Amino acid sequence: MKILLLASRVPFPQTGGYQIVVYNTIKGLVNLGHEVSVVALKARRHHHPDPEDDEILSKINYRAYNIDTRVSVLEVATNLFSRTSFNIDKYFDPEFERLLIAEVKKNEYDVIQFDGLFVSLYLNAVRKYSKAKLVYRAHNIESQVWQRLAGQKTDPFKKSYLKMHARRIKSYELETINKFDAITVFTQQDKSTLLEYGTKVPVEILPVGLNLDKYTPDNTQTEVPSLFFLGSLDWLPNREGIEWFLDNFHTALTNGELPVRFYVAGNDIPERFDDYEVMGKIFIQGEVDDALEFVNSKSIMIVPLLSSGGMRVKIVEGMAMEKCIISTSLGAEGINYTDGDNIIIANNRDEFYDAIAHCIADEQYCRTVGLNARRLIEQQHDMYVVTNKLVALYNRLLPAALINHFDEPGTK
């Protein structure tokens, strides 16, 4: 099968949830013998190291296109009087559209997958010039994320501003979703939301898949007890959640009430977060060289998400690394967890406090939760199981004659 993946971010290296999901999809499809091409938007505001050492590059056709997604203050102000949201519009580039049209006219793809809402801006152009089946993978329901963000604000202007963007993004989603041939989501919650939006095309639930060979916990290298957060703070729900946590627990962590060190790591941490740092108590580390090594070195992971959507890849990774995870129910959305068995759910300050105190005091309980979490990931989030389900969806969309051709020896 000849497949084109359109990505709104460069999938190399795997420093964030989006990159991990897209990369594992590429790897899974290649290992199943499919011919894979990847075209990615390379936002100039992000630093993307060249992926020259990645072995998968020799097995795919890969192109990255530079795009400037920065928005000026004037453009933000002007957008107040627009019907669309600059959070989506900034991903449209006429030159990239021309290059994409040339790509799909030159190659007869069987399936073209749009990874995320932002690349859906090019849907109409692709549909016009390609006979491929078009699949949309919703990494989250974007308008829902903005609506939830608005719900957390008390400032009337901020709440109104976020609600405005939520409405505009929802309008765009409603206009777009039924133009695809099929949609995949990570959670039942997101599927239900799309069906409420009036989605007529097939919607398939495919969870986050991991290459479990990469996740090899070594408990001899773990600081016990220790508390950590890992996530990119250029994503507003992450920033909002960790600010809430630091504001609520700064005193308890620094005066010894909760006797545990807390580490914050991730990309794009604002300089003002340095004010939270307390020597020997709270460490604002910023970007780490090896995310899995960092995760392995700590014992208790917190995910204090107050507004979100989709499935949190960092939780799935943390579970694969046998971490004891304390998360809001919203953060753990879509994962088939059992509270208290393979994750601990806490939805307010008191519940977080009690969970942290319990984990600090009972190392064996913490360890058991982590082991149970790993078993859950092995059962439900193996990359190859998930990729096989994705290919099955592709096959259902394609004409029977074409599927039979793929099944013939020596064909893809």
Is the same domain home to 293 and 370?
Answer: yes
Spell 72-91 as b/e; 16+ CB within 10 A means b: eeeeeeebeeeeebbbbbbb
Is the same domain home to 392 and 403?
Answer: yes
Q: For residue 408, is pLDDT > 60?
A: no
Is the same domain home to 197 and 54?
Answer: yes
- The residue among 243 and 79 whose pLDDT is bigger is 243
- The residue among 390 and 74 whose pLDDT is bigger is 390
What span, in angstroms and rounded, lies between the C-alpha atoms of 121 and 176? 9
* CA atoms 18, 20, 23, 29: torsion sign: negative
Domain hosting residue 361, numbered range: 213-380
170 occurs within a structural domain: yes
Cβ-Cβ contacts under 8 Å for 303 (sequence gap 6 or more): 229, 231, 241, 312, 314, 315, 325, 326, 327, 328, 331, 332
Mean pLDDT, range 56-77, rounded to an integer: 86
Lowest mean pLDDT, pick from 40-49, 117-126, 328-337: 40-49
367 occurs within a structural domain: yes
Q: For residue 379, how many other CB atoms are within 10 A of its CB?
A: 10
Is the same domain home to 193 and 227?
Answer: no
Q: For residue 43, is pLDDT > 80?
A: yes
Name the band, by pLDDT with cuts 50, 70 and 90, for residue 401. Answer: very low
* Count of domains forming the chain: 2
Q: For residue 46, is pLDDT > 70?
A: no
- The residue among 268 and 37 whose pLDDT is bigger is 37
Report the CATH number at residue 300: 3.40.50.2000
What pLDDT is recorded for position 169? 94
Name the band, by pLDDT with cuts 50, 70 and 90, for residue 50. Answer: low
What pLDDT is recorded for position 349? 98
Cβ-Cβ contacts under 8 Å for 307 (sequence gap 6 or more): 145, 148, 149, 151, 152, 236, 237, 240, 241, 330
Q: For residue 187, is pLDDT > 70?
A: yes
154 occurs within a structural domain: yes
What pLDDT is recorded for position 184? 98
150 occurs within a structural domain: yes
- The residue among 48 and 388 whose pLDDT is bigger is 388
In the chain, the largest separation of any two C-alpha atoms, in whole Å, equals 69
Q: For residue 377, is pLDDT > 60?
A: yes
Q: For residue 48, is pLDDT > 60?
A: no
Is the same domain home to 320 and 245?
Answer: yes
Is the same domain home to 357 and 308?
Answer: yes
| Mean per-residue pLDDT of the chain | 92
CA trace torsion 110, 116, 119, 123 (10° rounding): 50
pLDDT digits (tens, 9 = 90+) for 165-181: 999 999 999 999 999 99
Q: Is 111 left (phi over 0), alpha (psi -120 to 50) or beta?
A: beta
Q: For residue 194, is pLDDT > 70?
A: yes
Lowest mean pLDDT, pick from 32-46, 181-195, 247-261, 364-378: 32-46
Is the same domain home to 95 and 49?
Answer: yes
Is the same domain home to 89 and 228?
Answer: no
Is the same domain home to 251 and 349?
Answer: yes
Is the same domain home to 27 and 168?
Answer: yes
412 occurs within a structural domain: no
86 occurs within a structural domain: yes
Q: For residue 118, is pLDDT > 80?
A: yes
What pLDDT is recorded for position 161? 86
What pLDDT is recorded for position 406? 56
Is the same domain home to 42 and 79?
Answer: yes
Is the same domain home to 227 and 139?
Answer: no
- The residue among 333 and 54 whose pLDDT is bigger is 333
Residue 106: CA atoms inside 13 Å, Cβ hemisphere, count? 8
